[in-house]
Structure 1
């Protein structure tokens, strides 16, 4: 169990294994001063959420952490109380439209977040388990019928031996009878 946890932590990083989910949003430097957007997707072209300035580091009451870079910002979900779904990060254009920079699936609990990684590990194992189970059962069934067949042949061989002996005795009687005549 400890080995599995260690491998999982190495594969996802310490923060991500606990819960933190990140979404990095690259943008052109000319848009640096535009307000940032974090929202949940409602449809293919619409989302509901919040805006914040480029200087903010904690958003939504400390539930989101924002890290600025020269040409991108990263939003980390610190608490798993957001609704599960597809989230966008972007910039709010001067005319009020959202410039979508990136999107990602955010989970609402640590368990579902961990499951999102484990399922990709288990997915390739499913066909292998199915194949090995089928081969194992097929060999067991083959072995069972082979043993049953041997058992039937033993019974049949025993019957033929008795018939053969009776026939041999009968033929000798005829031979002896012929010599008497």
Structure 2
């Protein structure tokens, strides 16, 4: 019983719920050296976002993880900094226009936020459950 409580205490104190949403962006070989673009669609032909280099592994303060493939790159999003909605990945052409490679709906991940609050509510309850269980078990064993 005590080991179960210790495991639960450890889990509540150290677990972090993380949900990465991914979008794969295939490109033609002649686009391989161009800067990458990640943005949220603001109108039919426009978007708001950021650009990053081919060699970048993290972007937007670590909220984006970029994995480079031979003919594509994948953007994994923890939390969209420009808000939820339709997001584009693309490359920035020589004349400064965005060549859209893929799009997908990215939503805010409230699950990790809910878990981060819930674990702090559960953390004080676990010692109280431990104490109550020990007192209750001792009371029952003394009655026999």
TM-score (norm 2): 0.62
What's the counterpart of residue 70 of structure 1?
70
| Residues 1:80 and 1:98: Cα distance change in structure 2 (over 3 Å) | closer
**Structure with greater helix percent:** 1
What's the counterpart of residue 31 of structure 1?
31
TM-score (norm 1): 0.50
Q: Distance in 2 between matches of 1:82 and 1:48?
A: 7
- Give the SS at the match of 1:74: strand
Q: Which runs of 5+ in 2 are unaligned?
A: 1-16, 112-144
- Give the SS at the match of 1:100: strand
Q: Compare CA radii of gyration and give the structure with the larger one.
A: 1
Which 4+ residue blocks in structure 1 deviate beyond 4 angstroms? none
* Higher RCO, Cα 8 Å, sep 6+: 2
Q: Distance in 2 between matches of 1:29 and 1:102?
A: 16
Q: How does 1:11-50 map to 2 (within 5 A)?
A: 18-50=18-50
Q: Which runs of 5+ in 1 are unaligned?
A: 1-16, 112-181
For the aligned residue pairs, the C-alpha RMSD in angstroms reads 1.5
Are positions 1:87 and 2:87 aligned together?
Answer: yes
What's the offset of the Cα at 1:109? 2.2
Q: Distance in 2 between matches of 1:36 and 1:19?
A: 23
Q: What is the count of residue pairs matched by the alignment?
A: 95
Q: Distance in 2 between matches of 1:98 and 1:20?
A: 24
**Structure with greater strand percent:** 2
Q: Residue 82 of structure 1 contacts residue 108 of structure 1 at CA under 8 Å; is this kept in 2?
A: no
Q: How does 1:29-178 map to 2 (within 5 A)?
A: 29-79=29-79, 82-111=82-111
